[in-house]
């Protein structure tokens, strides 16, 4: 599919995409940039950012990159100030950085739980608070988009991220209300299983189970998520706020990644 959006849609905008060095984040950064936005991306790995920057610059996009761990508020503050200096204040923030690992609830350690909650919930809040207070609220203009996951029916097999993403979904609603007065809209996208650099780290047999359990019988693509992100960060969505948009081939409605065993009669 080509791009259905107007070429100059984001002229004059500065978009921050966390985790924009790979996968879904890079697809979103590419699409917003090709539609005219200046783009700032961050991640923990400098090499990944440099490779992504080269790709974006080759497409004629003005890019700022810096290493930043979203779990560290001081690094976040430095990054957000750096964006204003390099590209001007952000009008768009896409909180895409995140991740976790499969584990049963019985097995997850305290440090494993904390690592995932800090990454997906704390990091998203630290970025959001910094960008809103420094850039968007003073300008009375902003679009914030949180990438979460398909947690509608819980997230069996990844309890830590299910809890953290549900927290971000609720944060999305709360901030949509608190910041409506400042003309800042806050929404979320809940992707199903997307074929990306992220899911390439998962065992293929787990992904195949997910594919079979998805009504569309395929995985999504980062570009499909980027199309929805483009709509939600554009003026076409100016009256949309506090909502979570599922893009999952129907997976939140049907199918289970986690088989429930029958009770052991000996127990
Ligand atoms: C079984 C069924 C499951 C359902 C499967 C559904 C099918 C797939 C659906 C996929 C949908 C979602 C896809 C995506 O999100 S794609 C993005 C993928 N990328 C990632 O997820 C990578 C992200 N990972 C990280 O960024 C880091 O690993 C993380 C933040 C999670 C932790 O980093 P940190 O540096 O803070 O952590 P440490 O190394 O210091 O470890 C802290 C504790 O966490 C434990 N840990 C970390 N990684 C793992 C692991 N892979 N497995 C088990 N435990 C892990 C680590 O052991 C530490 O705890 P302890 O000190 O107690 O050992
Ligand atoms: N692919 C899928 O099926 C699904 C993905 N998601 C979520 O969508 C988002 C993008 O996933 P995807 O593109 O597939 O996976 P990737 O692993 O390719 O993307 C994750 C990005 O986040 C960055 N990142 C992770 N933790 C931090 C951190 N603490 N600080 C700064 N950057 C960080 C990573 O960069 P670096 O390692 O350099 O820090 C990486 O660029 C993630 O939040 C993921 O959990 C949700 C549902 C399904």
Q: What is the CATH number of the domain that holds 82?
A: 3.40.50.720
Instruction: Give me the pLDDT at residue 1, please.
Output: 66
Please give the ipTM for the structure prediction: 0.98
Is 9 domain-assigned?
no
| Ligand 1: centre distance to CA 100 (Å) | 4
| Ligand 1: centre distance to CA 32 (Å) | 29
Q: From the CB of 45, is ligand 2 less than 6 Å away?
A: yes
Is 7 domain-assigned?
no
Instruction: Give me the pLDDT at residue 2, please.
Output: 73
Is 262 domain-assigned?
no
Instruction: Specify the DSSP element, H or E, that contains 191.
Output: strand 184-191
Is 255 domain-assigned?
no
Q: Which residue has the tokens 């990091």?
A: 123
pTM: 0.98
Is 87 domain-assigned?
yes
How many structural domains are present in the chain? 1
Residues in the chain with pLDDT < 50? none
Is 91 domain-assigned?
yes
Query: What domain range is 149 assigned to?
Result: 14-247
Read off the tokens for 52: 């992504």
Q: From the CB of 210, is ligand 1 less than 6 Å away?
A: yes
| Ligand 2: centre distance to CA 120 (Å) | 9
Q: In what order do the strands lie in the sheet with 38-43?
A: 63-67, 38-43, 14-18, 92-95, 142-147, 184-191, 244-247
Asked if 34 contacts 40 with a C-beta cutoff of 8 angstroms, the reply is no
Q: From the CB of 199, is ligand 2 less than 6 Å away?
A: yes
Q: How far apart are CA 52 and CA 45, in angstroms?
A: 11
Is 258 domain-assigned?
no
């Amino acid at each position: 599919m080509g791009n259905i959006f107007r070429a100059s849609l984001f002229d004059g905008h500065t978009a921050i995409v966390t985790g924009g060095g790979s996968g879904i984040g890079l697809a979103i950064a590419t699409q917003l940039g090709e539609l005219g936005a200046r783009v700032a991306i961050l991640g923990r790995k400098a090499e990944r950012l440099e490779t992504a920057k080269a790709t974006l610059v080759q497409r004629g996009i003005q890019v700022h990159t810096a290493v930043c761990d979203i779990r560290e508020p001081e690094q976040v503050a430095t990054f957000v100030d750096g964006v204003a200096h390099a590209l001007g204040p952000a009008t768009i923030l896409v909180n895409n950085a995140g991740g976790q690992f499969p584990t049963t609830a019985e097995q997850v350690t305290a440090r494993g739980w904390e690592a995932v909650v800090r990454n997906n919930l704390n990091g998203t809040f630290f970025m959001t608070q910094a960008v809103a207070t420094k850039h968007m609220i003073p300008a009375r203009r902003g679009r914030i988009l949180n990438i979460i996951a398909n947690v509608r029916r819980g997230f069996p097999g990844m309890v830590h991220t299910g809890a953290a993403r549900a927290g971000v979904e609720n944060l999305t609603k709360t901030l949509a209300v608190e910041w409506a007065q400042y003309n800042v809209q806050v929404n979320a996208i809940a992707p199903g299983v997307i074929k990306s650099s992220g899911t390439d780290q998962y065992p293929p047999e787990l992904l195949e189970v997910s594919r079979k359990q998805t009504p569309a019988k395929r995985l999504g693509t980062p570009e499909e998520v980027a199309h929805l992100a483009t709509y939600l960060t554009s003026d076409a969505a100016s009256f949309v706020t506090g909502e979570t948009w599922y893009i999952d081939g129907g997976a939140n409605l049907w199918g289970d990644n986690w088989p429930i065993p029958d009770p052991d009669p000996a127990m």
